[in-house]
Amino acid sequence: MLHFPDDTALIVIDVQLDFCPGGALAVAGGDEVVPVINRLMDRFATVVLTQDWHPEGHLSFAASHPGKAPFEMTEMPYGPQVLWPEHCVQGTPGAEFHPDLRTEPAHLVIRKGFRPAIDSYSAFFENDRRTATALRGYLADRGVRSLVLAGLATDYCVRYSAVDAARLGFQVTVAEDGCRAIDLAGSLAEARAEMQASGVRLAPSAALGGH
């Protein structure tokens, strides 16, 4: 099996039941990423999982805005915000990782979106683009310079994480067969274009290399 250099980490984004078929914010084929990610895990010296972790009544939920419906837009102090169905509420079954996802290889779990008034797509920053998670410092302490990302959803949390990582100076590859998209009003094409413009490589997992 080809292994990646020790300075390359796998970041697994939000493979949670609410984003899989039958979940509150289901991504079509979301559960199909699990075997791809499970195969990748043993090839990395550093594996990080992220977990959407919202309190009840989070302001990104449509239910928190009377008269608004899921997938409508609203304006937050930090900018435009999609209003989502209630999902990944702390302590609920939908917030748990998919039961077939291997979690024992993970060295760190980053929980995000737990601040009631700020949504969080990226593994690195809340949606205000200023409030940081601990991920950048953790990766720096481990000497990580390159990242492979997979998970859910391509056009939101994977996209924001990949673009932020590139902006922070990491070499970034998205394993496209290890991701699935919501594709809300053309958001997948937009996400792919933004990632590529940011220097993010998009590739199938079989083409990722290693040594």
Tens-place pLDDT, residues 114-129: 999 999 999 999 999 8
Measured between alpha carbons, how far is 65 from 186 in angstroms, rounded to an integer? 25
Question: Of 14, 31, 155, 164, which one is the catalytic site residue?
Answer: 14
What single string gives the DSSP state of each residue in 122-190? Answer: SSSB-TTS-SB-SHHHHHHHTT--EEEEEEE-IIIIIHHHHHHHHHTT-EEEEEEEEEE----SSHHHH
Confidence (pTM): 0.96
The yes-or-no answer on residue 14 being catalytic is: yes
Output the pLDDT for position 58: 97
pLDDT of residue 160: 97
- Residue 176 near residue 203, CB atoms below 8 Å: yes
For 79, the enclosing helix (H) or strand (E) is strand 79-82
88 as an active site residue: the answer is no
68 is catalytic: no
Predicted pLDDT at 1: 64
* Per-residue CA distances from 87 to 19, 64, 137, 159 (Å): 8, 12, 28, 19
User: What is the tens place of the pLDDT at every residue in 67-80?
Assistant: 999 999 999 999 99
Query: In this predicted model, what pLDDT tens digit does every residue of 33-67 receive, in sequence order?
Result: 999 999 999 999 999 999 999 999 999 999 999 99
The residue ranges of every structural domain in the chain are: 8-54+95-207
Catalytic choice (88, 157, 164, 179): 157
| Angle, helix 159-167 to helix 187-197, in steps of 10 degrees | 10
Residue 146 C-beta-side C-alpha neighbours within 13 Å: 14
C-alpha span between 41 and 11 (Å, rounded): 10
In this structure, whether the domain defined by 8-54+95-207 belongs to CATH 3.40.50.850 is answered with yes
Token pair in block for residue 168: 């922070």
- Which member of 31, 112, 155, 179 is catalytic? 112
**How many whole angstroms from its chain centre is CA 140?**
19
